[in-house]
Amino acid sequence: MKITRIDPTQAKPDPSTADYFDGEVKFQRLVSSADSDELDLLCVYFSAGARTRPHIHHQDQVLQIIEGQGIVADETEKHVVSTGDVITIPRGMWHWHGATRTTAMSHISTMKRGQSDFTVEEKNWAAGYDE
């Protein structure tokens, strides 16, 4: 058994993921391959205006918003989400997510270990925060 506390002071940028994000993003790994054979649990801290690039996961993803306000978008809709919201993103769904233009946001990402594809069409991502 291992107990890990969510702690923003432990979050660090990860230069290896720079191509997957737009804006300042920090990470705190809560569960890694050393802790679980199947699951990754990651706390992601988005500065105001920061977001992921569009992508697809080959496994389901669950996001739990733990602080602030953000946007979760698929090909046709953009949803404003806030503290306490839980978002389920089925495998194979094109999406992007991050903070709003003016408010930082943190979420916990839970997924089975697997592949993600960031080489997808941008679709509505280029419009970003425009409605």
Query: Model confidence over 99-112: pLDDT tens digits?
Result: 999 999 999 999 99
pLDDT of residue 25: 97
Q: What pLDDT band is residue 62 in, cutting at 50, 70 and 90? A: very high
Span 106-124, average pLDDT: 92
Q: Provide the H-helix boundaries in 2-83.
A: none
Residue corresponding to tokens 């679709």: 123
pLDDT of residue 123: 85
pLDDT of residue 124: 77
Mean pLDDT of the chain: 94
Per CATH, the homologous superfamily of domain 11-114 is: Jelly Rolls (2.60.120.10)
- Please name which of 49, 62, 48, 47 lies closest in space to residue 93, comparing C-alpha atoms: 62
Q: What is the pLDDT of residues 10-52, one digit of tens each?
A: 999 999 999 999 999 999 999 988 999 999 999 999 999 999 9
User: φ and ψ at 70, to 5 degrees?
Assistant: -145, -175
pLDDT of residue 130: 64
Q: What pLDDT band is residue 126 in, cutting at 50, 70 and 90? A: confident
pLDDT of residue 125: 82
Share of residues in the chain with pLDDT > 70 (%): 97
d(CA 65, CA 63): 6
